[in-house]
Structures are given as structure tokens and as C-alpha cells.
Amino acid sequence: MPTIDEQVDILMSGAEYGDPQTKETMRKELHTRLVEAEKSGRGLRVYCGYDPRTADLHLGHTITMRKLRQFQELGHDVTFLIGSFTSLIGDPSDKDKARDQLTVEQVHENARTYADQAFKILDRNLTRVRFNDEWLATLDFADIIRLASNFTVQQFLVRENFKRRLDEGLPIYLHELFYGLMQGYDAVAQETDVQVGGQDQLFNIMVAGRKLQEGMGQRPQVAIIMGESLPGTDGEVKMSKSLGNHIPIMAEPWDMFGKVMSLPDKVMPIYHKLILGWSPAQVKELEDNLASGSLHPNEVKMRLSRDIVTIFHSADDAQAAQKRWDEVFRSHGGLPEDMPEEKLETAEKVLDILRRLDMVASGGEAKRLIQQNGIRMNEQPVTDPMATVTPEMLPVVLQVGKRKFVRLVAK
């Protein structure tokens, strides 16, 4: 077992707060908690929350999961918290407008596979899975008033996203202020020692969580705020489900492989660091080799794609995904051998087929792809949104982008 100092170094690695003094304070508080835990023989209570606003967790979420895994490996009590109640509102952090409110049914359907997705990183046998409607749904209006009395409106309005909306005359809805309050109460209800989160959770954890715990007579939790965010497939903006630039943990192996291959070359170092866990020395060597030309970006990306698919699926899946990639992009035929088949009985519009098979997220996306020649039928661009496939035309191959294929066959 590492020494206390070594544990602090491990657990604080990658944490950033935008302020050296805050980081040092958190480091000292964590050291104290670890000393007390060692003496008592009780591991620290640690958690991170994940809101099921959609059905997919993505690679960006695994950064905090890996930190939870470090706590598990050091013998601490880790909770994977599903925000079954907070998701009804949605976190307003870094949002320029209020999120759409979900129904209870939508949230629970989205959350159905969250735990299994998390176990791609976390130890199933050492992970406690909880849902925050367990305690948030039972609060009455008097409870809300008592909790809210611990904060001022100014504390919420100085947040960058709220301040920007206020300056621009954009609406800030009252229910959006409740999100930080609810997440703060998650820490109270679980009596947590440590909460892990990303930079967008700095206010919710450092202000709402710690202050509410103090106000409720508890010792404020240690905040482990991960300093770097994973860029999305555009290479520019933080990976986000709402922006559509994410790589889902549960993506099919060939789709995951292709999405990683589509990443801009410049994000290769940070993906190796945050997803593969490479050390600073390893990342520096990678950067130097790329800069000198001794490593080709495509070679690096191919290896990264295989490694990521292996982590979330298997080595066999990674090999099959690369084979499919090679068939599409390195063969003359340009079509994978093992594409899925769908039987077609009657005439149907191409866009309706793609929507039905979840090959596009919406009709709007499909129309944009048509304008960009991103939808093909038998390897020819589909230019008419009303294009239709009839039984007489079968078999027909439909392609969306570079990685999604379906062969339509007769019933």
C-alpha cells in the first residue's frame, strides 16, 4: 500500500482549481482525511454524479471514473451516483440557456444501462450504485426553504454562465438555481468525504456542496476537480452529448474505432494522457516523435483507436474494427463485408429509413448531411430529400458518413 503522501500525490494528480491556494487547501484536507481513515480502518466515502440526460455515457465521463477507480484501488468506499432527480432539471453549468426538462420516465429509461457502462472502468464488486431521487424526491417545500437559506442569490449569479446571460438580457429561470442546491444536498445525504467532478462542477462542489454540508453540521467534503477536459470529435470543444461531438462508451466497436480515427491530429497527446493514462514523460515523447516526423499521425491514431476499442470492448473487437476500417478506406470496393442487413417490404423514403434505424438523430441532421453529400445510396450521393427506395430496387446499400452502412434486402 502506498504511503499517505504517495496516496495524496496519486489522488490529486490532474486536479486543478484555478487557484494555487485552493489546491493546497484541498491537498491538506485530503491528507488529513487519509490519515484519519488509516487510523480508523474505514475508507473515505467518495462519489461522483452522472446525470442521465441521454442514454449514453461517453469517453469524457471516464476521466472522473478513472479517478474513482484510483480511490477504489486504494481501499476507499466509492459511489457511482446516478442523477435520477437532478436530471429532471439538468445542470446549467456552461449553458447559455435553460435545458429542456425531462420526464421521470425519460430519465429512468436513459439511466437503465448507466451502471453497466460505468463498469467498463469501475470495479463492479467495489462500486456502490445509488440514485439521488432516493433523498431529493422526499424533500418538502419547508426542506427546500431551509436548504436555500444557506445561500444568497448573488452567489449563484456571479457564476460565469449566469452572469453572461444576465448581461445579455437572456432569461435565467428560478428552477436553474435549484440545481446547485440539489447537488449540494447529494453530499449531505451521503455524508461524503470526497466528491470528484470536472471543471464545470467547480461551483456545485466547492460552493454548494461544501457550504451546505457546513450549514447542516457536517464536515465539508474534499473536492477533487479534474483540470483537463477531453476534446470532442471536432477537436475544439469539450466532449458533450448535447453538442453531438461525443464518443459513446457503448458505441459499436467499428463506430468507436472510426470516431477515434476521425479525431484531429492535434488532440492525440491529450487522448493518450486522459484516456490511456500515459505519464507526462510518455506524452512528451509522443509529442516529440510526432513533431520530428519519426511517428506518422495516422500510425499513432490507428494504435490509439485499437487501444480504446480494446478497453471498452476487446482485443478481438479492435482487430475486427480495424479490418472493417481498412475495407472501407483502403480497399477499392469501399464497402465493409459485414454490414447489417434490413428487410424492406414496401417503398420507403431514404430519410425515414435512416431515422427508423437510428442512423441519423433527426430529420434535420439527415437534411444537413444530404446538403453535404454525406448520405449515399449504392455509393452515389443522395441529393433529393424525397428519395425513395422501392422493393424493385433491392438490394440497396445506404451509407451515412464514413462509418454507418446498411444493406436493404427483399423480405
Statement to judge: residues 75 and 129 lie in one domain: yes
CB atoms within 10 A of CB 349: 15
pLDDT at position 90 is: 61
Residue 379: which CATH number?
3.10.290.10
Domain count, the chain: 3
Residue 245 lies in a domain: no
- CA 181 to CA 86: how far, in whole Å? 10
Looking at every residue in the chain, the average pLDDT score rounds to 88
pLDDT at 186 over 60: yes
Please name the amino acid found at residue 39.
K
Statement to judge: residues 360 and 298 lie in one domain: no
Burial code (b: 16+ CB inside 10 Å, e: under 16) for 246-269 equals bbbbbbbbbbbbbbbbbbeeebbb
- CA 80 to CA 129: how far, in whole Å? 5
| Residue 392 belongs to domain spanning | 341-410
Residue 94: closest CA among 165, 154, 23, 17: 165
Mind giving me the DSSP string for 258-293? HHHHTS-GGGHHHHHHHTS---HHHHHHHHHHHHHT
pLDDT band at 97 (very low <50, low <70, confident <90, very high): very low
Q: Last residue of some domain: 225, 243, 266?
A: 225
Statement to judge: residues 315 and 345 lie in one domain: no
| Helices (runs of H) and strands (runs of E) counted in the chain | 19, 12
pLDDT at position 376 is: 87
- CA 232 to CA 239: how far, in whole Å? 4
Q: Last residue of some domain: 268, 294, 329?
A: 329
pLDDT at position 332 is: 45
Which residues make Cβ contacts (< 8 Å) with residue 271, sequence separation at least 6?
A: 230, 260, 263, 304, 308
Statement to judge: residues 37 and 113 lie in one domain: yes
- Note the pTM of the prediction, 2 decimals: 0.75
Residue 240 lies in a domain: no
Note the pLDDT tens digit of each residue in 30-42: 999 999 999 999 9
Q: Say how many CA atoms lie within 13 Å of 214 toward its Cβ.
A: 12
Statement to judge: residues 279 and 325 lie in one domain: yes
